[in-house]
């Protein structure tokens, strides 16, 4: 976003862009990033650096078998090709595997997300306000010739 803001010639509009970018940055740090980092820490099973490649290979193999991948995709050569294609970019590989096998995603109903709570309570508040809202009286027929 910084690059987009720099491209704007008008000083006033550029400052507005920078201000918006700062708001997005602050919002992401307050809401998005900590939740993401916490989830990563919880999901991560750390291994020594020299065992990382083996651990990644085992995770890919386990994931493919667990989610009913075709036998051809679970063969050693296929896994090697996949790991080579995404070398140094394993998170993207796992994201694409999740897109290919979406049933692998399981929701933990015991966990709540801070933003879900915010959105749900806002939605509930809006519904309450709509119910309370301004009551519009029904139109009543009036004899237009009646004198006031």
Q: What is the pLDDT along the chain (148 residues), one digit of tens a residue?
A: 778 888 888 999 888 888 888 877 776 666 656 666 777 677 777 888 899 899 999 999 999 999 999 999 999 999 999 999 999 899 899 999 999 998 888 877 776 666 666 666 766 666 665 666 555 555 666 556 555 4
SS3 for 64-114 is: HHHCCCCHHHHCHHHHHHHHHHCCCCHHHHHHHHHHHCHHHCCCCCCCCCH
If asked whether residues 31 and 52 sit together in one domain, one would say no
Global pTM exceeds 0.95: no
What's the structural domain count of the chain? Answer: 2
If asked whether residues 73 and 96 sit together in one domain, one would say yes
Distance CA 16, CA 59 (A): 46
Where in the sequence is the domain holding 8, given as residue range(s)? 1-44
Residue 141 located in a structural domain = no
The answer to whether residues 39 and 105 touch, using CB atoms and an 8 Å cutoff, is no
Residue 62 located in a structural domain = yes
If asked whether residues 60 and 37 sit together in one domain, one would say no
Residue 142 located in a structural domain = no
pLDDT digits over 82-124, tens only?
999 999 899 899 999 999 998 888 877 776 666 666 666 766 6
């Amino acid at each position: 976003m910084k690059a987009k803001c720099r491209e704007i010639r008008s000083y006033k509009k550029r400052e507005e862009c920078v201000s918006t970018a700062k708001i997005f940055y602050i919002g992401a740090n307050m809401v998005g990033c900590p939740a993401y980092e916490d989830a990563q820490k919880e999901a991560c099973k750390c291994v020594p650096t020299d065992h990382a490649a083996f651990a990644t290979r085992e995770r890919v193999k386990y994931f493919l078998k667990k989610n009913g991948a075709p036998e051809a995709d679970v063969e050693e050569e296929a896994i090697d090709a996949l790991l080579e294609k995404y070398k140094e970019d394993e998170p993207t590989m796992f994201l694409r595997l999740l897109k290919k096998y979406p049933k692998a995603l399981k929701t933990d109903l015991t966990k709540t997300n801070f933003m879900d709570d915010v959105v749900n309570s806002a939605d509930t508040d809006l519904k309450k306000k709509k119910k309370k809202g301004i009551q519009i009286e029904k139109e009543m027929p009036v004899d237009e010739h009646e004198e006031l």
